[in-house]
Amino acid sequence: MDISVEDITSVDKQVKISATREDLAPKFNEAYKKYQGQINMPGFRPGKVPIQLIKKRFGDEIEEEEIGKYVQEIFENEVVPEYEPVGESQMVEMSWENDELEAVFKIGARPEFELADLSKIKVDKMVHDVTDEEVREEVEHQLQQQGDWEPLDEGEEVTETCRVSVEAIPVDEDGNPDEENKANEVIDLNQEESEQFREDLLGHTVGDEVDVEIGHGDHSHHFILKILEIEKPNKARLTDEFAKQQTNEEAKNVDEYKSLIKSQIQDYYDQSADDLFKRDLVDAMVEAHEFQVPEVFIEQFKNQYVERVKQQNQGQLPPDFDPEEYKEGLGDRAERDAKWFFINEKLQEKFDDIEIKPDDIDEHLSAQAAQYGISVDQMRNMFAQNPQQLENLRNSIRENKVFDRLSEEIEVEEISKEEYQEAYDEKMKAAEQAEDEAEQENSSNIVS
């Protein structure tokens, strides 16, 4: 048996395991003896079938099974302790020809790098204090949502806030109305999905017939919309009773309702700012560290993205979903997440005094229990029955503590919501421009 290793990059290695029948003979012989005691064949007593006959009838299957076990055993007992691969190692090929075994694996090595000077890393953080105007807009939005609809007077025209009841009649390729397949529909022009009808319906009145075309090119459909009724929103009245109903009596009057709304909006902005800061902090840390990441490790992240799509669709991938195309489009994200994994490891070594206390876990369990509407004890029992879920929770808490410590080491500049949005737009514009330039360069290279 021989193990050879070839360095593909500083972090990617190819491992070749070679063996002969002589190396595998003890495994084969042991397997044949085991099956001799299990196989029954006509004309032979149980356990007394000649081994030569077993080899002739079942030898290929038995040896194939033992070869797989042998390769796995050598990999786990010889390769893993020696090279400590990271990520999910990939078997490139395995062959058994002329009594010679050759199994080739691609493995990843942990990248070697030093943490950058954290004091030189600068990250913007959005800070926003909710204004009275934002509260007023949210209150108006809720009043509209909880209101009812009132028919327009005769002759009044459709506006952007109206709800329009129509009789939708399909038109065939020859321009003839298909009365048999007509259907009544309600189009709320306030909704985003009704945007395609908005311009066609604006300014019309009850009784009008409107020609509309939905879709583009070969996928377009022609309809005649007969306007049957037009309604305008009639918003609810802002009263103490409305405040109680909307908040499940958490607010007793209008002033408390507005205060609660302001608090909820502020919580939203604070959480959003925190999430965006963490994202930008990871981007800044990745940008500050130049090192290669094993291909198998990047592939592992891509596979996790596909698995997440599956989980979001009741354990099944969508019918037209192409996993390989999806993974190809997420290459940059996978490399970024993979790099952060190793940087995060280094940071945990640096901040080695970080510890997770029972109170930390209780705080997270309480938050999740409130989110799902169950008791803390029920949530704790759920985690107790799933050790992996508990370990994931501990990792999440530990990473948050790393973020907290990292925030103290780097330079954080607080900027307004408007400044943050402007900086983000510029960043996206620069990224699009870089992508366009890369595509142009690739096209030039292909032509040349």
CATH code for position 43: 3.30.70.1050
Task: With respect to residue 179, please indicate whether it lies within any of the assigned structural domains.
Answer: yes
- Look up the domain containing 154 and give its range: 148-234
Which one of 234, 249, 269 terminates a domain? Answer: 234
Cα separation of 410 and 119, whole Å? 5
Which one of 234, 254, 278 terminates a domain? Answer: 234
Task: With respect to residue 141, please indicate whether it lies within any of the assigned structural domains.
Answer: no
Task: With respect to residue 101, please indicate whether it lies within any of the assigned structural domains.
Answer: yes
pLDDT at 434: 78
Domain match, 226 and 303 both: no
Domain match, 9 and 93 both: yes
What's the total number of domains in the chain?
A: 3
Task: With respect to residue 259, please indicate whether it lies within any of the assigned structural domains.
Answer: no
Do 297 and 86 contact (CB within 8 A), yes or no?
yes
Centroid of chain to Cα 168: 38
Between strands 86-97 and 163-171, the pairing is: unpaired
Q: Which residues of the chain have pLDDT under 50?
A: none
Locus of tokens 């029955």: 385
Specify the length of the chain in residues.
448
- Give 401's Cβ-side CA count (13 Å radius): 19
Burial of 78 (0-12, 13-18, 19+ CB in 10 A): middle
Task: With respect to residue 373, please indicate whether it lies within any of the assigned structural domains.
Answer: no
Domain match, 37 and 103 both: yes
Stretch (H or E) spanning 12: strand 12-20
Domain match, 104 and 26 both: yes
Cα separation of 24 and 28, whole Å? 6
Q: Which of 341, 348, 325 is nearest to 293 (CA)?
A: 341
pLDDT at 159: 93
Cα separation of 414 and 270, whole Å? 13
Which pTM value belongs to this model?
A: 0.78
Cα separation of 430 and 419, whole Å? 17
Which one of 188, 217, 234 terminates a domain? Answer: 234
Domain match, 73 and 8 both: yes
Domain match, 206 and 155 both: yes
pLDDT at 54: 87
For residue 173, the SS3 value is: coil
- The structure tokens listed for 291 are 């090192």
Task: With respect to residue 396, please indicate whether it lies within any of the assigned structural domains.
Answer: no
Cα separation of 374 and 169, whole Å? 49
pLDDT at 253: 96
Do 397 and 359 contact (CB within 8 A), yes or no?
no
SS3 content of the chain, % helix, strand, coil (to 5): 55, 20, 25
Task: With respect to residue 382, please indicate whether it lies within any of the assigned structural domains.
Answer: no
Task: With respect to residue 56, please indicate whether it lies within any of the assigned structural domains.
Answer: yes
pLDDT at 389: 86
CATH of the domain at 164: 3.10.50.30
Domain match, 86 and 161 both: no
Domain match, 103 and 19 both: yes
Bridge partners for 1 per DSSP: none
Domain match, 85 and 23 both: yes
